[in-house]
Chain A
Amino acid sequence: MSETGSRASLSVLDQRLEAHFAALRSQRDESAGSEFPLFALEHGLSDLELSLLSTTVRDAVGRRHLPMAASLPFVVYAAEVGYDYSGDEYWPMFSQRTPGWSYEDREFIRQGFQRFATRFGGAVPAGPWAAHFSIICWPITHAVLPTDLQQHLVRLLFEYRTGLTGDLLADPASLGRRLAARTGNYSSRFRYFAQNAALLGQVAAALLSPENESSPYLVDSTLQRIVGSLSKHHQARRWLRDAKSTANHVRTSGFRRSPSTNGAASGNQPVERLPRGADPGVFVQLSEHGWEVYLQLPDLSLLAEQLPDLYEQLRGTRVRLAGRRSLLARGRLLAGDQRVRLDEWPASQVPLLQFEGDSLASANRLLADHCVLSPGPAWLFRVREPGLATEVRGKVVRPGNLYVLLIRADLPTDGRPPWVVTAPCATAGVSAYIVQVPAVLDERATAALASLGIGVLADVSVRPAGIIPSDWDGQGSLTSLAGDDVVIAIESGRTVTQCIVRLDGKTEMLEWPLGENELFVGLSGLEVGSHAVDVALLSAGVDGAVAEGSLSVIVRTTPVRPSGGSPREGLVLLADPPAPVMEDVWEGRAPIELLGPTGAEVTVAATLEGIRGGVLATERVKLRTPVDAATWSKTVASQLRSSRAFQHCYDESEVLTLTASSPDLGSVELRCEREFSPFRWVLRRDRTGPYAHLVDNTDGSAAEVTRYAFGSPATAESLDSAVSEVLRWPAGGLLRARVDTFQALVIMPPHVHGDLSDLRDALPAPDIPSRPRSADEMLSLMELCAQWATASLPGDPFAEFERRRVLQVLTAGVVSVAAGSRWSQLERRGTRYDNFVFQELREAVGAEDYQRGIADAISRRLSAWDTLDPEKRAQEFGSVLAAFSHRTHVRDDAGRVGEFLLRAASEPSSLEGWPADEKASLVDRVITSPVLIRAARFVVLGIHLDSDDDDPASIYRGWSWA
């Protein structure tokens, strides 16, 4: 193409696109509204025109002719590249397709998209993802739905189909928020995409539009293109068809939410809180110790519609459950149907669930509002089968039925009816009674129940009928899946002529079928949420209602099946957090459990896949269930890390799939993708040895690169490195890159020929210079520990070996800053040869009486502590320090101080996430009173010397912190 021809083509194409997008804007304003943006992919060009556009843009780039006045062809071209983007590097892909493209021209593309957004109301990238990928977010957003995300979206639509309503289909923004809240188990890249909930909703609404009708949200040609791509995948095609079919059904049923739904009562009466989908189920179970209280916690990701960050917070933070001593593991509340035994009944003024730490105030408020127990002081449970009773939230009994009553205070014997009998209770804070309600209740009995806050339902019952509900407490609370019919039966032994039914404030009078004792009632169009049904029975010739009853109905969407299997199945792979990234599984940061019946033989297959899906390596391990996290770490994780094939292929792979299977139980799969980060190191190996390459999609300023050698792990060395450069470093160590707010850390393996002994010869032992005794020095070494500990680990086993040595030296350094010269000498000698002498350590704790007392107390307890997990040891250790509080000043906060000291002395990086001011204050205490850290280190090394528990993920034996 000549230069003149090229310029002319560019101009013609620009004009053609200008006219197209201007017309499309008007059309969308009219059919959908001005708030719905246009996308560059909606260019409406034919294949031939698109081919011409590509040729023209390439030619213009080759000639360095980049006119902003004719930028539309470039914008469309960049969006087309984005359509094929699958998570690797955008600019190298762009550059490969566009000879002559210069990395410096990125700004031209961004400005082109910004101009498009201004002129045509084009989509503006939003969400944290857009902030991180500040330029490539434009072409990828304007690609509408890149090919590799299409299947994810239709699967999401399929799974949510029963939750669709006419209102949602007419309100893409709300639809987007609902869908985004359910993406927790999807890949990190799809989760990033879903952060722009408005875009997600617009695309979803377009995909769900009726067949043979234009969507107001997306131009036909683009929609058909996406549907065409999807149709190549059988499963995706079926998902989309079923989701569309449900959407069509919803549309044709014409249902719209009435203004006063979701439990809102009419008038200005105070509204009683209805049970909600996030409230836990409560049941009591009889054990040999007495009645025990269990909570059945739902999948709380359903609350993410109200607080988009909630999923990540549930995924990454442990949760304190009132009434239970231990914290709930990260992600436990995303697994759904989690049964948890309470140690004591929660205090009424304490929120039931709260995140660990104090920083998540809005999430804690949400949990406090939406996940609550029914109010006390008495709680009623109906015995459903021997030894098992479920809560009756309405606190009403039915004559002749058997109940368990839990109450805060003991009931006095005087005046207690003989049919209320004391029962053993294994849950603290409440007393238990068996209540065998007589078949006929007199006034005195009714009054006795009323004094406990319990009512009587004698002449009417309301229950679900015909359709098996998702849950039914047997008396007054029903849970149904969205999309299911709800039918209730109203039953009475009285003579009834009419029945008044009030549903969410709307009242209907129904004729009672003549001669029947039961009336069936269909409740249609119930939206997701809580609904109140009240009934009053009328009888001819009788003033007022002869009987009244009520029912609460919760409608919920189908829970998302957790990756790794549902607890309803016989085999579950449970990860903490759920859906962990590949790096966390490889490095042991994401503990995994395999749940199943005792003794079942299960084969775990681990597979590494490359970026295009090809299998690179597979390993198989046979196990017997159940497998706890520690056993998993010692067996599966250990075998994978020592596998030559995995070591060789790990750095090249993008996905690690774990599949557990058994002929009797079936199979479950956990798919762990490499973290999708805009700024990361990629490690590769060629004949010359390992090398690193920095992927930078942040489009910010040049990265600052620093390295720390294995031999001198506390000494930073700045590197002058361009982003695209391949970085080789035969000695290996920690590589750190920083740009703006991003940091990428990786352990570069040493280039070693031979085995471990060759490594020892080739590399000097890690060493760090002595540091002055100060809180700042101690905190700075802790920060360095965290960098080494959290850096990505390659497949090369030498890297892991060397990092462990470094972390031991750095931990010894943290201790030595405060512990004094005598202790530092022991550390230096012992760490170098991993040869600590117990008696020397004990004596070095201190010479003063109280210091010897602390050392003696620890010595006596060490063998018992060996069997405890580190958190429990910390409590015990804190108690020892508190016993010498006159000198240690450790008193009320003994457990917390003990935990801080043991973490600092065994794995300082595990203190990441502790509040900075608390950490600084505790470090000050250590500097003032060095015996604290010496004593803690004595505990750590004492256990290390005796323990057989050599978890490769921990720095010292026996110190795997949760």
Chain B
Amino acid sequence: MGVVALSSHQVADRALASLGLNDAGVDLFSTEALAESLRRAASFHCPATPATLIRTVLDALRGLPGSDEAVPAQLATLLDALIGVGDLLELPSADPDGPKRLIYLGQPAFIRRSSGAYVLIGVRPDGEPLATSDLAGRIEFDGHLRVLRAGLDLDELMAANDIAERSVSQWLHSPRLRSASEVVGEYAARLAAAGPSGEIDGARIIDPDAPVDYYRGRWRAAKSGDSGVFVARRPQAYGADLWCAAQLDDGRFARLVDLPLFGSLAPAADEAWELQAAIDAEQGHKQRVRSRPTSDTAYTALDFFSPLPGWAQRRLDLFGTPLLAARGALFSYSLPANEVAEELDFFTQRLWMSTDTESERTGP
């Protein structure tokens, strides 16, 4: 038993080792390490609110080299990505007096990419590693993703570690193809059937008139002149603010329905972000995806400026690799250049996005 003074860099090294990332060539505040930190916090604390998981990571990393004011927002975005990919599940809570929805652990599973690589998802409880050391040593960390490169013995390793296969079709399951007006119409109909909501203290809405390229800047309180269907969040006594769809009448909340409305097992944010994409498209300022060449001509980068529902994010996770977000973008992915057209088509069809192309060649 011993007591020894450590420098902040030594603490960061030990923290990386505790995440199994000491040889991964990343620092403690990289996307990869923050995602692993969130997974580790979840393995000890789930079921938990998003705030608990983010606070747990922030508490541990406070004062270490690389910590800055952007980390909380980065963790919030990453947590959404982990829920999107299936590492974590956002589900209704069993406790009627507690928060309405909580984060649970997703069960370990893998999805087979066409390249033969496997995307690993899920978290084991109480700090147990996902896999025994021989498999763990082969996991590559790409942003929030954990990937195993193709190998002859992968299936055997998966079976030995009790990691089941999730079929691609099941994993990529998405809502049926609808027009933006249909989607907005569905929510409007549900709102019309709901009772009056009265005023909602502390509620915030996504401003449909604010530029679609800066997601965080779109949130504000309702004000006079706001009328129609909005995506909103309202506070609850305990837990994260609830996602909802709201009917506003000149800045006043007339009716409100909590999300998810069409299936309790999907994260509420999935419905909210799909609805917002539809509202934006209906109002004539579609959300945007930008493609740009990379230094490797075989790959093209896609930049996104608004969050995506989990079912859309999973396509990118399956076919692409997360990149450091390009300047101004919320997140970015690299995709094989010959598959980009198909993916852009998906986003224009399913989320009514506009596409544009930047010609300047950048990383990765």
Residues of A within 8 A of B (CB): 158, 234-235, 237-239, 241-242, 245, 255, 257-258, 261, 285-289, 292, 336, 339, 341, 384-388, 463-472, 474, 481, 484-485, 487, 489, 491, 501, 503-504, 506, 508, 510-511, 513, 518-527, 558-559, 561, 566-571, 595-600, 626, 663-667
B229 near A: Cβ within 8 Å?
no
Given contacts A234-B159, A234-B160, A510-B3, 19 further A-B contacts (CB under 8 A): A238-B160, A261-B1, A341-B97, A464-B59, A467-B18, A467-B60, A472-B59, A474-B59, A487-B15, A491-B63, A513-B7, A519-B5, A559-B126, A566-B125, A566-B126, A569-B104, A596-B91, A664-B89, A665-B89
Whether A489 lies near B63 (C-beta < 8 A) is yes
Query: Interface-forming stretch among B38-46, B208-216, B316-324, B337-345?
Result: B38-46
Residue of A whose beta carbon sits closest to that of B39: A468
Residue of A whose beta carbon sits closest to that of B134: A238
In the bound complex, residues from chain A placing their C-beta under 8 Å from that of B238 are 285-286, 385-388
B174 near A: Cβ within 8 Å?
no
Cβ distance B121 to chain A, nearest Cβ, rounded Å = 10
Whether A238 lies near B161 (C-beta < 8 A) is yes
Whether B3 lies near A523 (C-beta < 8 A) is yes
In the bound complex, residues from chain B placing their C-beta under 8 Å from that of A523 are 1-3
In the bound complex, residues from chain B placing their C-beta under 8 Å from that of A384 are 52, 55
In the complex with contacts A235-B161, A386-B237, A666-B109, A241-B133 CB distance below 8 A: yes
Complex interface bits, B60-99 against A, C-beta within 8 A gives 1, otherwise 0: 1111100000000000000000000000010110110110
Cα–Cα, bound, A121→B334 (Å): 68
Whether A385 lies near B55 (C-beta < 8 A) is yes
B181 near A: Cβ within 8 Å?
no
In the bound complex, residues from chain B placing their C-beta under 8 Å from that of A336 are 126
B295 near A: Cβ within 8 Å?
no
Cα–Cα, bound, A571→B162 (Å): 17
In the bound complex, residues from chain B placing their C-beta under 8 Å from that of A474 are 59
Cα–Cα, bound, A569→B134 (Å): 25
Cβ distance B271 to chain A, nearest Cβ, rounded Å = 15
B8 near A: Cβ within 8 Å?
yes
In the bound complex, residues from chain B placing their C-beta under 8 Å from that of A339 are 95
Cα–Cα, bound, A558→B238 (Å): 29
In the complex with contacts A384-B55, A524-B1, A665-B107, A468-B18 CB distance below 8 A: yes
User: Among the interface residues A336, A466, A472, A525, which one has the most CB atoms of the partner chain B within 10 A?
Assistant: A466
Dominant secondary structure of chain B at its interface with chain A: mixed
Whether B1 lies near A465 (C-beta < 8 A) is no
Whether B3 lies near A501 (C-beta < 8 A) is yes
Pairs A–B under 8 Å by Cβ, sample size 12: A234-B156, A235-B161, A238-B132, A387-B238, A387-B239, A484-B18, A513-B7, A527-B1, A568-B43, A598-B92, A600-B264, A666-B122
Whether A568 lies near B104 (C-beta < 8 A) is yes
Whether B265 lies near A664 (C-beta < 8 A) is yes
Whether B106 lies near A666 (C-beta < 8 A) is yes
Whether B94 lies near A626 (C-beta < 8 A) is yes
From B14, B43, B106, A485 is in contact (CB under 8 Å) with B14
Q: How many residue-residue contacts, CB under 8 A, span A and B?
A: 216
B6 near A: Cβ within 8 Å?
yes
In the bound complex, residues from chain B placing their C-beta under 8 Å from that of A238 are 132-134, 160-161
B261 near A: Cβ within 8 Å?
no
Complex interface bits, B188-222 against A, C-beta within 8 A gives 1, otherwise 0: 00000000000000000000000000000000000
In the complex with contacts A467-B15, A470-B44, A664-B265, A385-B49 CB distance below 8 A: yes
From B3, B37, B40, B55, A503 is in contact (CB under 8 Å) with B3
Cβ distance B190 to chain A, nearest Cβ, rounded Å = 17
Residue of B whose beta carbon sits closest to that of A479: B44
In the bound complex, residues from chain A placing their C-beta under 8 Å from that of B237 are 286-288, 386-387
In the bound complex, residues from chain B placing their C-beta under 8 Å from that of A518 are 63
Across chains A and B, which 4 residue pairs bring their CB atoms closest together, nearest first?
A387-B238, A666-B107, A466-B15, A287-B97
Q: How large is the interface on B (under 10, 10 to 19, 20 to 34, 35 or more residues)?
A: 35 or more
Cα–Cα, bound, A566→B124 (Å): 9
B47 near A: Cβ within 8 Å?
yes
In the bound complex, residues from chain B placing their C-beta under 8 Å from that of A510 are 3, 5
Cβ distance A484 to chain B, nearest Cβ, rounded Å = 6
Cα–Cα, bound, A232→B48 (Å): 41
Cβ distance B57 to chain A, nearest Cβ, rounded Å = 7
Cα–Cα, bound, A386→B5 (Å): 36
User: Among the interface residues B12, B41, B61, B62, which one has the most CB atoms of the partner chain A within 10 A?
Assistant: B62
B182 near A: Cβ within 8 Å?
no
Whether B170 lies near A663 (C-beta < 8 A) is yes
B184 near A: Cβ within 8 Å?
no
Cα–Cα, bound, A359→B283 (Å): 73
Cα–Cα, bound, A137→B42 (Å): 45
Cβ distance A245 to chain B, nearest Cβ, rounded Å = 6
Interface set, chain B 234-249, CB cutoff 8 A to A: 235, 237-239
Residues of B within 8 A of A (CB): 1-8, 10-12, 14-15, 17-18, 28, 37, 40-44, 46-47, 49, 51-52, 55-57, 59-64, 89, 91-92, 94-95, 97-98, 104-107, 109, 122, 124-128, 132-134, 156, 159-162, 164, 170, 173, 235, 237-239, 264-265
Whether A665 lies near B265 (C-beta < 8 A) is yes
Cα–Cα, bound, A567→B48 (Å): 11
In the complex with contacts A503-B3, A520-B8, A520-B10, A568-B60 CB distance below 8 A: no
Whether A558 lies near B128 (C-beta < 8 A) is yes
From B10, B56, B63, B127, A472 is in contact (CB under 8 Å) with B56
Whether A569 lies near B1 (C-beta < 8 A) is no
Cα–Cα, bound, A559→B91 (Å): 24
In the complex with contacts A465-B11, A465-B62, A466-B15, A487-B6 CB distance below 8 A: yes
From A466, A559, A596, B61 is in contact (CB under 8 Å) with A466
Residue of B whose beta carbon sits closest to that of A507: B3
Cβ distance B324 to chain A, nearest Cβ, rounded Å = 23
Cα–Cα, bound, A626→B93 (Å): 11
Cα–Cα, bound, A708→B264 (Å): 54
In the bound complex, residues from chain B placing their C-beta under 8 Å from that of A257 are 1
Cα–Cα, bound, A238→B164 (Å): 17
Residue of A whose beta carbon sits closest to that of B132: A238
Residue of B whose beta carbon sits closest to that of A598: B92
Cβ distance A306 to chain B, nearest Cβ, rounded Å = 22
Whether A597 lies near B265 (C-beta < 8 A) is yes
In the bound complex, residues from chain A placing their C-beta under 8 Å from that of B265 are 597, 599-600, 664-665
Whether A595 lies near B44 (C-beta < 8 A) is no
Cα–Cα, bound, A472→B2 (Å): 21
Residue of B whose beta carbon sits closest to that of A595: B94
In the bound complex, residues from chain B placing their C-beta under 8 Å from that of A467 are 14-15, 18, 60
Whether A566 lies near B105 (C-beta < 8 A) is yes
Cα–Cα, bound, A786→B61 (Å): 60
Whether A522 lies near B159 (C-beta < 8 A) is no
In the complex with contacts A468-B60, A489-B63, A242-B133 CB distance below 8 A: yes
In the bound complex, residues from chain B placing their C-beta under 8 Å from that of A597 are 91-92, 94, 264-265
Cα–Cα, bound, A513→B106 (Å): 43
Whether A522 lies near B264 (C-beta < 8 A) is no
In the bound complex, residues from chain A placing their C-beta under 8 Å from that of B132 are 158, 238-239, 241-242
Whether B1 lies near A506 (C-beta < 8 A) is yes
Cβ distance B237 to chain A, nearest Cβ, rounded Å = 5
In the bound complex, residues from chain A placing their C-beta under 8 Å from that of B5 are 510-511, 513, 519-522
Residue of A whose beta carbon sits closest to that of B136: A242
In the bound complex, residues from chain B placing their C-beta under 8 Å from that of A237 are 160
Cα–Cα, bound, A521→B10 (Å): 10
Whether B60 lies near A667 (C-beta < 8 A) is no
In the complex with contacts A468-B57, A568-B104, A522-B162 CB distance below 8 A: no
Cβ distance A239 to chain B, nearest Cβ, rounded Å = 7
Cα–Cα, bound, A626→B239 (Å): 22
Cα–Cα, bound, A285→B46 (Å): 16
Whether B4 lies near A522 (C-beta < 8 A) is yes
In the bound complex, residues from chain B placing their C-beta under 8 Å from that of A261 are 1
Whether B18 lies near A485 (C-beta < 8 A) is yes
Cα–Cα, bound, A518→B8 (Å): 9
In the bound complex, residues from chain A placing their C-beta under 8 Å from that of B91 are 570, 596-597, 665
Whether B12 lies near A466 (C-beta < 8 A) is yes
